[in-house]
Amino acid sequence: MIIMRSNASEEQIASVVHEVEINGLRAHISRGEERTVIGAIGDGRPVNKDPFLYLAGVDRVVPITRPFKLASREFSPENSTFPLDGVKIGGDEVVIIAGPCSVESREQILETAYAVAEAGAHALRGGAFKPRTSPYSFQGMGEEGLELLAEARQATGLPIITEVIAPDQVALVASYADVLQIGARNMQNYSLLHAAGASMHPVLLKRGMSATVEELLMAAEYILSHGNRRVILCERGIRTFETSTRNTTDINAIPVLKSLTHLPVILDPSHSIGNWEFVTAIARAGIAAGADGLIIEVHPNPSEALSDGGQSLKPERFADLVNQVQQIARAIGRSVAPANHKQTGPVQL
């Protein structure tokens, strides 16, 4: 990885690419907002970095042994952070995203948004486009759902996270959402990863249900390679033989990811255990293991939810979860970020 100075010219970049190629390597250019990074990709054999060190415009050269490059700790030993409406993602403070599985109605999303804001959530989740196993299941409210999310943001000040399931939807969803979610089923949908990367919008990338930790990082690499550095990784349970829970929370993945990558890592205990009774225990475990945040399903009336009711918390239980997580965060020298959304007056439901 050849990291260019922030003021490097196109000419300087071109001459580095030229040098890469005459060394028998392939150049992969990733243009970030601040600086350009040039990957020199070979066949795995060690490469002498001297020829690149003294070229004009080069800041530094970092040899990277992992198959993921821009995502690796070798590339960036410091944790990556970015602000989301005043909350810092990936920093010392723990961030909590909450909301219903699906946006179902104006009343439902506003009621939930107020409740989770009140309880201390930092962002609102809610699906407008739903990837469902069956074509006959509720597929989400579509753009109408996005509009309701925008209204909920305006009402509560909470930034919005919502899923995008097709490359040609990215622009539409990005026009409403603060963070694009890429779901577990689409973790290796590379055209979607490319589109989300190119959008330069923040992305929450969920681990596929049978993806290895390395494959998750390789998927992030697709987004990062567009120069889009605002990527949040999310463990959401893997598929195993165990049938007493919906998935098996891979709690090991939290410290392993934190050692391999500089990207923020959060946990989705709702999907990873799949039963509301146990969500709080697993949320605590995730923060104790070092996660930078949580994403939690909350529904005002879980038994009537159109999807995933069984794993959704009622607002009062969610408030209790936030309190418990706060205790755990303090026990390891962190804390839950203060709720900093602008408290607007109540809207009419």
Query: Could you say which residues in the range 186-215 bind a copy of itself, by CB under 8 A?
Result: 186, 188-192, 208-210, 212-215
Q: Which of 324, 334, 335, 347 binds a copy of itself (CB under 8 A)?
A: 324
- CA pair distance 205, 216, nearest whole angstrom: 8
| Contact status: 175 vs a copy of itself (CB under 8 A) | no
Between residue 10 and residue 69, which ones bind a copy of itself under the rule CB under 8 A? 26, 28, 39, 41, 67-69
The stretch among 3-11, 174-182, 249-257, 309-317 that binds a copy of itself (CB under 8 A) is 249-257
CB of 296 to a copy of itself, least distance (A): 16
| Contact status: 171 vs a copy of itself (CB under 8 A) | no
159 vs 264, which CB is nearer to a copy of itself? 264
Neighbours of 25 (CB within 10 A): 16
Three-state secondary structure readout of 156-191: HCCCEEEECCCHHHHHHHHHHCCEEEECHHHCCCHH
- CA pair distance 294, 228, nearest whole angstrom: 22
- CA pair distance 306, 325, nearest whole angstrom: 28
Site pattern 117..136 for a copy of itself (x: CB under 8 A): --------------xxxxxx
Specify the DSSP class assigned to residue 150: H
Say if CB 113 and CB 347 are below 8 A apart: no
- CA pair distance 27, 38, nearest whole angstrom: 6
Between residue 78 and residue 117, which ones bind a copy of itself under the rule CB under 8 A? none
248 vs 301, which CB is nearer to a copy of itself? 248
Q: Which of 7, 243, 303, 348 binds a copy of itself (CB under 8 A)?
A: 243
CB of 129 to a copy of itself, least distance (A): 9
Between residue 133 and residue 162, which ones bind a copy of itself under the rule CB under 8 A? 133-136
124 vs 254, which CB is nearer to a copy of itself? 254
- CA pair distance 102, 124, nearest whole angstrom: 11
Task: Tokens 């944790």: give the residue.
Answer: 79
39 vs 90, which CB is nearer to a copy of itself? 39
Between residue 259 and residue 278, which ones bind a copy of itself under the rule CB under 8 A? 259, 272-273, 277-278
55 vs 256, which CB is nearer to a copy of itself? 256
For residue 131, with 0-12 CB atoms within 10 Å meaning exposed, 13-18 middle and 19 or more buried, which class applies?
middle
Give how far Cα 285 sits from Cα of 46, 224, 258, 266, 292, Å: 40, 29, 15, 12, 12
